[in-house]
Chain A
Amino acid sequence: MRRCFFLKKMVLMLAMGALAAGTGRGAFAAPASVSGIQEYKQNISTQEYEKRYNAVYGKFTGQMAEQGNPADFMLDDGKDLFKKVEGTTGKSCASCHGENGEKLKGVAAGYPKYDPAIKGINTMALQINRCRKENMGAPELKYESYDQLALELYVKSLSNGVPIKVSIDGPARPFYEAGKAYYYMRQGQLNMSCAICHVKYAGHMIRANLLSNNRHHADHWPGYRLKWGKTGSLQKRFRGCNKKVRAKPLPFQCDTYRDLELYLTYQANGLPVAVPGFRM
């Protein structure tokens, strides 16, 4: 967490410095470059990217997500957990949010979002744990444990089909910029940033795999991944990517990963929520 805090501080300072510099240039500064980061452009056109993506993966992942997704078993368990009474107040999730979670329909499409109570970005996983602690008096679930993923999966699946609408206005803006700064920061022994692969070289091959662009990265987690052989969250995927460039992975739900999740989910704005996902 210390490292995480340090990074955040550094990134915020950078962002503030850039803001100060930006105002000096007057009204001509583009809003996209507030944090002083020069954004990459995809090397190939969108049509070419779609063509290459379909040639490699086709409709396979989409079909499997609907028809043969092993995460469906977890979804059923999540539904049972939603109705299970736990904690000191004798409540379950269903006692406040409706028997089948009617009141939560569409809520997950607005997450992650800024929360003044924690002075930071609130993700769905964090919100579930906070709700358990504050309103149910139940112990927090360990991140990436089976129960935690199952509950998150079920709550998110209530918003299936609702377009993602993440706001970065107002107080969320500096956290979005911090997430973006992390996305563009070169790190690890290989000295790569997320953006090099997933923005600039999206559509090119990295050994035997096709690099995907970041538009569809955040709309279908938690999901089943063939390589893991089990269901995991987006932040588990972040850790995997960090390890691949030989950087040190950060802990789950730390400040930096939550900002990064906000940045990536904003890229997916307008796409429908589709959980559980299925990835190669």
Chain B
Amino acid sequence: MVIGRIKIRVPSVIKKGEVVPVMALVTHPMETGLRKTKDGKVVPAYFINDVDVFYGNDRITHCDWTYAISANPFISFYLKADKAAPLKIVYKDNKGGVYQQSVQINPR
């Protein structure tokens, strides 16, 4: 499994000023650090702990995550589409990995 593949879903047609749902999925193992292998060794913690969402230049959402989030986390939120700008989601994990992707929002 490749870590950090991102899929962002927005409606294909958006009216200006409309409130639209945005859904994003990222592949990540999200190891809690509490799990042990069959040999009794602890699997080190490895999870996304910081999510930023940018719309144009504004940061519109920020999440502080812990190990309690499931593997391959899915987030969904609503966005008021009032300008033509890229929507960028940035995930950072506790080992320094940064994964990001953006989609262009073009309201008509």
Q: Tell me the A residues contacting B by CB distance below 8 Å.
A: 64, 67-70, 72-73, 146, 224, 226, 229-230
Contact = CB atoms under 8 A, between A and B. Distances in A.
Given A68-B25, A72-B25, A230 B70 contact: no
B15 interface: no
A53 to B, nearest CB: 22
Interface in B1-45: 1-2, 5, 7, 9, 23, 25, 27, 29
Main secondary structure of the interface of A (DSSP, over half): mixed
Contact of A68 (B1, B2, B23, B29): B23
Contacts of B7: 72-73
A80 to B, nearest CB: 13
Interface stretch (B48-56, B57-65, B71-79, B95-103): B71-79
Does more than half of chain B's interface fall in helix, strand or loop, or is it mixed? loop
Given A73-B5, A73-B7, A230-B1, A64 B74 contact: yes
B27 A70 contact: yes
Contacts of A70: 25, 27, 72, 74
Contacts of B72: 70, 224, 229
Contacts of A226: 70
A67 B70 contact: no
A116 B75 CA distance: 49
A59 B45 CA distance: 32
Contacts of B74: 64, 68, 70
A79 to B, nearest CB: 14
B71 A229 contact: yes
A67 B1 contact: no
A247 to B, nearest CB: 21
Contacts of A146: 1
A67 B23 contact: yes
16 contacts: A67-B9, A67-B23, A67-B76, A68-B23, A68-B25, A68-B74, A68-B76, A70-B25, A70-B72, A72-B7, A73-B2, A73-B5, A73-B7, A73-B27, A229-B70, A230-B1
A67 B25 CA distance: 9
Contacts of B23: 67-68
Nearest to A228: B71
Given A70-B27, A72-B7, A73-B2, 16 more contacts: A67-B23, A67-B76, A68-B74, A69-B25, A70-B25, A70-B72, A70-B74, A72-B25, A73-B5, A73-B27, A224-B72, A229-B29, A229-B70, A229-B71, A229-B72, A230-B1
A229 B74 CA distance: 13
